[in-house]
Amino acid sequence: MVRRAGINLGLGVLCAALSLMPGCAIREPADPGRLALGATSDRAMADIQWPPRDQSAANERVSMHPGRRHMYLAGLDDLQGDVRPYIWSGRVEVLCRQLAGLGVLCEVRRLDKIREWFDPRTFVFYSSATPVIFADRSKGPPPPSMHELDGTPMDGIVYRWRPDLPNVRADRGVVIAMRPLSGSGYMRPVVDELRSRGWVVVETSLGFGLAGVGEKRDAQSIDDVRRFGRELAQIADERLSEAAFAAEAMLAFMREERSQLRDKPVVVLGFSAGAIGAPTVAARLGEQVRSIVLVGGGANIVRIASTSELSNFGLGVRSQGQPVRGEMLDALSDSYIAASKLDAFHTAPLLKGVPALILHAEDDDIVPADTGETLYRQLGRPERWRFRGGHELLFVQLGAFSGRIADWIDREVALHSRESSRIRQDHRP
């Protein structure tokens, strides 16, 4: 993420003089009528066409029961060039397993690394759509060694429940922080600031999974491009829904374990890749969400993947050996949006009744700035802090804004909670 940070840092000096707030940012207030445009509700969530999941099937298929197990997780290899999926594997101890939400939630402890990996608690969510290993029994009984792996999942959504800080009463509410591909380093000051104010934080990543990553998509015609757009919509919706179902399960688990969190607000934070999926997670959680902060995000995953200077994230489409551009790119993007149900393009409008803050880099070429503009419009033009420079400079500066972000969250959650309480009282029979 910081491959050009050294070049861009010099821009910070220039843009400070143009800023309306300390640091390299220009504040744009939210559209005054935005919160009246709509509201996230359980009814709105039900209107989304979520991919089906079967908790009983997940319980039968997934073999991650308490004890020592081999765990596999899917990810992306080197983002430069042709991106392919890779599988990380390692030995873990499954500490507990329970049905949660639409799947199975397991708490695990890694056995081959130091304790900080799970800092201090790690959970993995599996659903009926999670790929699992099954022995081929068509040619007779499998070898004994396969019995241990039978039903072992090849992917999952990982959550890390960050520890409470000493001498801090952690009961303000729950922050779901969705990380960038670069890891948690750049978001750490924001997360730590919120923890110091009594928020309970869990971190996760927007997984890319196995399906569709690295497939060769060579379009010979506009019809091919449109077909690829529809296929990519199905792939993206599956992954976005897994992230949303996992958040739902993890939140329920936390509230079951800590009763003091049951009626407390939820804040969704998204950073870079995490900000691309955060609106869908927030839409799934519905009225529980009291604010959302998106840093370096965008809408339309296919357009992001097709125009990012970093990578196509394994979702690329080519024509005559080159990435699609012009009319073909527009056809791909239009086909994707028409077929998608869960891209932020569709879920962000459901959040118009929720206080939202966007941090946007005007020259972003990793999550291209035009897709950030699309996200801003789809959210109903919420408050936005515009930064001069690119994606990397935005994240380099992020730590300097951690206190202001936390102040914004504290203020907006309090205002939104009071307004929600007033509306509920007004509608009592």
7 confidence band (pLDDT: 50, 70, 90):
very low
Q: Among 192, 198, 174, 194, which residue's Cα sits nearest to residue 253? A: 174
**Domain annotation for the chain: domains and CATH numbers:** 5-53+169-426 (3.40.50.1820)
Q: Return the pLDDT at 389.
A: 94
User: Whole-number mean pLDDT of the chain?
Assistant: 87
Say if CB 393 and CB 11 are below 8 A apart. yes
**pLDDT tens digits, residue range 349-390?**
999 999 999 999 999 999 999 999 999 999 999 999 999 999
Beta bridge partners of 360: 386
Contact 89, 70 (CB under 8 A): yes
- Indicate if the pLDDT at residue 135 is higher than 80: no
pLDDT at 53: 96
Instruction: Please give the model's pTM, rounded to 2 decimal places.
Output: 0.89
Q: Contact, 356 vs 383, CB < 8 A? A: yes
Q: How do residues 155-191 score in pLDDT, each as one tens digit?
A: 999 999 999 999 999 999 999 999 998 888 899 999 9
> Where does the pLDDT of residue 85 fall: very low under 50, low under 70, confident under 90, or very high at 90 and above?
confident
Q: Is 320 left (phi over 0), alpha (psi -120 to 50) or beta?
A: left
Taking the chain, what is the end-to-end CA distance rounded to the nearest angstrom?
Answer: 53
CB 178 within 8 A of CB 271: yes
Q: Judge contact between 296 and 359, C-beta under 8 A.
A: yes
pLDDT over threshold 60, residue 12:
no
Q: What are phi and psi of 326, to 5 degrees?
A: 60, -130
Q: What's the confidence (pLDDT) of residue 38?
A: 57
CB 379 within 8 A of CB 349: yes
Class of residue 175 by CB neighbours under 10 A (exposed 0-12, middle 13-18, buried 19+): buried
Instruction: State the Cα torsion 132-133-137-140 to the nearest 10°.
Output: -160
pLDDT tens digit sequence for 318-334? 998 899 999 999 999 99
pLDDT given at position 120: 77
d(CA 217, CA 70) in angstroms, rounded, equals 33
DSSP H or E stretch at residue 243: helix 222-257
pLDDT of residue 379: 96
